[in-house]
Chains A and B, each alone.
Chain A
């Protein structure tokens, strides 16, 4: 049996087309509606409610909690204040990324780490010789992501916390309709949004409260398909799609450094010892061999390729996750690892790994597309990520 989320009893009846998928061993909705457009639209126009409970969650406590996390991740955890959240990757000794996630400082000596993949063993291996307690709370804590321009308004309806004061990547311990929760201003959409963390046994109450409070604002439960489009627009990497964990890669070439997946900003240049420090310092000096960039397919080119077959461009309704080669001047210079049609920007977008020196924004490249069973190359443009970055995200 696959696992079900603590919100399953509420979400399951809503999955009208039985479009389920696996996510970290959980059975989760790809979409609730047969078509995900309305769910995506809610992320950008109103408020979408996304069950993100399959994230792995660890509570790290004790006098060496900060030291443990600091030696593990690339950002300077010593500077993380109580009530602050970091997004950060973590690496092996060779500076290759193992996983990425968030660290929330819940208290003086209490941190919560979230990760895409299970991290218990790695945490423990890093904790050798430290006074620290690591608890896997993945199944004990449910998480809902409330994303969209009206997300704040919804929360103000149901919670007494001051959401105007709650800044980007900060958290607050509060209540939703008397239910104790932690709310962080975080998300995976690049929009205004929050994630709400609740004890699993009371998860359903949280769902009901948010739906009730959100209905006047057009709240819509959204599945992974909608989220996927939003995160591509936001230029956010995804484990096992855009990069592979150094722990799971079968060959060296499948591994990536933070510099190679657009996470250079997360690598502290001046913090104390951490996994991969030497290798990353050397790479910083050397300059990365690869970059993770946006690619915008030129509409005219796409239109022309399809017109040869007397067809208008065929657009996918959900994001794609197959690798597509990227060329420059006839030679392959990289590959796109995921992409979508952006309903908001009205452009076909892709996230791509490009080899130096072909990753400068504005560079002309070509991306492989399949048109009527034939492989073609469409003209495209290298873009700096993110594609979409509204002011409200941080405001």
Chain B
């Protein structure tokens, strides 16, 4: 063996790190190369303004696979999830809708708006439990290729078929509805209170370029519940020290197993010789050899940037071309002099420890989507707001606060393109909308960081700023993610693998892609 490494992982995002950790755990000599000075990709914590730390992009966590936490012993490396207990939706009539940590309190609150919905919520929760149970095995399996006759694919298909049959007709039909309906239609079957439907459906549109009334948006709803059934931690949580600390804990585990991690080392391209990967070339020209290269980057970069597309089959390149990124969300990070005062719940209350959802009605969300559909950012966007310093005081200087605002829709393909002026106008629209519900917000702002999808792409490298490395739409899931035939983490280049969220099971800080890719690599044996 001439090379010092037998595996190079391109990209130190959480999936790359997870893959590296699993490979190192199996005694592979792994080198992780990260372009940026910080690890984590979209899961980073940065002190953007002196004293104010932000989970710059991804900001909450619920989906990190429990088996990863367990197998990599992440708590030992600093994983500590603090509860994010409630969601409050301010309404346009000055009232609010809240969901609290306690089911009885939530029920009472729901009853205030619709006793019917309070009943329905219990049954809906039960159904989601079943649905999460139904998809869980799918999230943990390597997608079989339905058009293949290879024994492993046939076995996978059979397993899948048996799984669906074992669900029974009722649950299978419910799953079918969830996979194919719009979140608005799906929730219409359960609930009558509009703001409740809006707030629930909001979780179905995150990271996709779909409105709540577009079929396909219901599936993402389920993501909310998948974290719950595993009982690893609460549905939504906030990592102590910001999401970057999650990446650090995975990196810590990887290093503990002997992996080497280099930051400030951007990969220019993957070296291919005779249809086989032989190493990488860094932007500075440095060449590093390894018989195995694993890309944690998104499919567009993995296939058409790190490689010369002419080395790849035409169908694959065409599939990657058609693969939809369409970043649709932005982020506004605020350093605050104090706490916002919401008209609907004045003063400092428990609601500030949870999420604030700006989703007063389904029509509000749908109109926000309409703006984006025609190439504008939403004048009145959907926002998911958290104040991490309320849960983790270390994020801001004493008495000061940091606020994280996830904003949708902000289309990557903005009419006329993104510019500094457009970014400011976008930031202004966010603050203006928020001021309707928390009038003092403007006076509290010490610093403001506005991130458009173009910024997200520029900083993190995520194509078109899509936070999931590609939309979670039905035609881009499972054996179609990222493209048919190549959904099993392999590529046509021998020794070159994919492990990013652009592969099954996809986005959210889930780590599933990195883990499954690593396990497939190990199953394949040494190159």
Contact = CB atoms under 8 A, between A and B. Distances in A.
A2 interface: yes
Interface stretch (B46-54, B120-128, B395-403, B498-506): B120-128
B88 to A, nearest CB: 15
Interface stretch (B58-66, B111-119, B291-299): B111-119
Interface in B96-138: 104-105, 107-108, 115-116, 118-120, 122-123, 126, 129-130
A25 B120 contact: no
A3 B108 contact: yes
Interface of A: 1-3, 22, 25, 118-122, 124, 136, 247-248, 250
A1 B104 CA distance: 8
B104 A22 contact: yes
A118 B108 CA distance: 12
Contacts of B120: 121
A120 B107 contact: no
Contacts of A22: 104
A96 B108 CA distance: 28
A122 B120 CA distance: 9
Contacts of B104: 2-3, 22, 25
B115 A120 contact: yes
Contacts, number: 36
Given A120-B116, A121-B116, A248 B105 contact: no
A118 B119 CA distance: 6
A136 B129 CA distance: 28
B112 to A, nearest CB: 11
A108 B129 CA distance: 43
Nearest to B122: A248
Of the candidates A121, A122, A124, the one having the most CB atoms from chain B within 10 angstroms of its own CB is A121
Contacts of B123: 121, 247-248
Nearest to A22: B104
21 contacts: A1-B105, A1-B108, A2-B104, A2-B105, A3-B108, A25-B104, A25-B108, A118-B107, A118-B115, A118-B118, A118-B122, A119-B119, A120-B116, A121-B120, A136-B115, A247-B123, A247-B126, A248-B122, A250-B126, A250-B129, A250-B130
Interface centre among A3, A120, A122, A248 (most CB of B within 10 A): A120
B105 A122 contact: no
Q: Which 4 A-B pairs have the closest CB atoms?
A: A121-B119, A25-B104, A118-B119, A120-B115
B176 to A, nearest CB: 20
Contacts of A119: 119
A326 B383 CA distance: 55
- Which of B115, B119, B126, B130 counts the most chain A CB atoms within 10 A? B119
A248 B118 contact: no
B526 to A, nearest CB: 44
Interface string B421-437: 00000000000000000
Contacts of B122: 118, 247-248
A2 B129 CA distance: 25
Contacts of A3: 104, 108
A122 B105 CA distance: 21
B315 to A, nearest CB: 44
Q: Size range of the interface on B? A: 10 to 19
Nearest to B119: A121
Contacts of A25: 104, 107-108
Nearest to A26: B104
B343 to A, nearest CB: 21
B225 to A, nearest CB: 13
B289 to A, nearest CB: 53
A247 B116 CA distance: 15
Contacts of B108: 1-3, 25
A52 B471 CA distance: 52
Nearest to B106: A25
B119 A120 contact: yes
B229 to A, nearest CB: 10
A120 B120 CA distance: 9
A68 to B, nearest CB: 16
Given A118-B107, A136-B115, 17 more contacts: A1-B108, A2-B105, A2-B108, A3-B104, A3-B108, A22-B104, A25-B107, A118-B118, A120-B115, A120-B116, A121-B119, A122-B119, A247-B123, A248-B122, A248-B126, A250-B129, A250-B130
A25 B107 CA distance: 8
A25 B115 CA distance: 13
Interface in B364-401: none
B462 to A, nearest CB: 38
Contacts of B105: 1-2
A121 B104 CA distance: 17
A21 B312 CA distance: 66
Contacts of A136: 115
Contacts of B119: 118-122
B181 to A, nearest CB: 20
A124 B126 contact: no
A131 to B, nearest CB: 19
A250 B131 CA distance: 12
B116 A124 contact: yes
A27 to B, nearest CB: 9
Contacts of A1: 105, 108
A119 B126 CA distance: 16
Contacts of B118: 118
Contacts of B115: 118, 120, 136
A118 to B, nearest CB: 5
Contacts of B116: 120-121, 124
A166 B371 CA distance: 69
Contacts of A120: 115-116, 119
Contacts of B126: 247-248, 250
Contacts of A250: 126, 129-130
A25 B108 CA distance: 8
A121 B120 CA distance: 7
Please indicate which of the listed interface residues B104, B122, B123, B130 has the most CB atoms of chain A within 10 Å of its own CB: B104
Interface in B226-272: none
B122 to A, nearest CB: 7
A351 B115 CA distance: 34
A122 B129 CA distance: 20
A22 B102 CA distance: 12
A20 to B, nearest CB: 13
A250 B104 CA distance: 20
Contacts of A121: 116, 119-120, 123
A22 B107 CA distance: 13
B117 to A, nearest CB: 8
Nearest to A124: B116
Nearest to B125: A248
B196 to A, nearest CB: 14
A1 B119 CA distance: 19
A223 B82 CA distance: 37
A22 B108 CA distance: 13
B125 to A, nearest CB: 10
A121 B123 CA distance: 10
A350 B130 CA distance: 32
A220 to B, nearest CB: 28
A1 B98 CA distance: 13
A3 to B, nearest CB: 6
B506 to A, nearest CB: 27
A133 to B, nearest CB: 14
